[in-house]
Amino acid sequence: MAAAARRLRRTAAQMGTASVATPDPSAAPVAARARRVGSTGYRRRSGPGLPALAVGALMLLIITMLGVERVTGMSVLPDRFIAGLVPPPKEFPVLPASQPLGLEISSIELEAPVHSVGIAPDGSIAAPTTERAQEAGWYDQGPTPGQYGPAVIVGHVDTHTGPAVFAHLRELRAGDRVEVARSDGSVAIFEVDRVGRYDKEKLPAGEVFGDFSRPQLRLITCGGRWVGGETGYADNVIVFASLVEAR
């Protein structure tokens, strides 16, 4: 993800535009190849020792008991065993490709059209023009909202004339709903997992682009301190959300 992080840092944020760069699709396969040819990779022929078997058996037991907890609602594992484990995802649909047309977030009274944006000349995701500052821009080189992976929608926080489409994005909280109207007539409903604010020099490219475990949504704008110049605001505000429903 180093290349993606470098591209993230290149993107300018003039007049409060959302700034984020395109991911490097080759990073994960390269890492996977590196693991396969490592000195402890698939070339080892000897079987696992007793410690490895014991660890494997313990992991299997924990996974089985987590499944029991999910089905029955009963807590059967001590807290120390599940500390730090990510809970299994809720049930979710997976939708076919369909371009987003509109965005609605009732908790912040946001209702806006969505149009496509591509790649800017510097290799970053292009933000909507200032003339369309009250619209959001879906990055059309990534998944559409509802497909597996993170669909990315960017927008301005403000312009010289006043607040823009994502002026109140930072006010979202976990559990808030985000509805995306799609061109096939369906509506993809996402639930906010968390909201983060990141220095533009330290944006988490892997977190933004790397989760393909389920349909995801990323809403991105600017925030933090105004520094001017090509940077604009010092930070990016990123909303991480997961698909929970469709209608």
- SS3 readout for 162-221: EECCCCCHHHCCCCCEEEEEECCCCEEEEEEEEEEEEEHHHCCHHHHHCCCCCEEEEEEE
119: left (phi over 0), alpha (psi -120 to 50) or beta: beta
pLDDT band at 210 (very low <50, low <70, confident <90, very high): confident
- The letter for the amino acid at 218 is R
Place of tokens 């906010």: 192
Residue 14 has pLDDT above 90, yes or no: no
Number of H helices, E strands in the chain: 5, 10
Task: Examine the pLDDT at 4 and tell me if it is beyond 60.
Answer: no
CB 1 within 8 A of CB 210: yes
Tens-place pLDDT, residues 44-95:
334 444 544 554 555 555 556 555 545 454 545 454 444 444 454 567 899 9
pLDDT at residue 59, rounded to an integer: 52
- pTM of the predicted model as reported, rounded to 2 decimal places: 0.67
Q: What is the pLDDT of residue 92?
A: 87
How, if at all, do strands 187-199 and 177-182 pair?
antiparallel
Report residue 162 as tokens.
Answer: 């006043």
Which whole number is the average pLDDT over 142-160? 95
Instruction: Catalogue the E-assigned strands of the chain.
Output: 100-105, 110-117, 136-139, 149-154, 158-159, 162-163, 177-182, 187-199, 215-228, 232-246
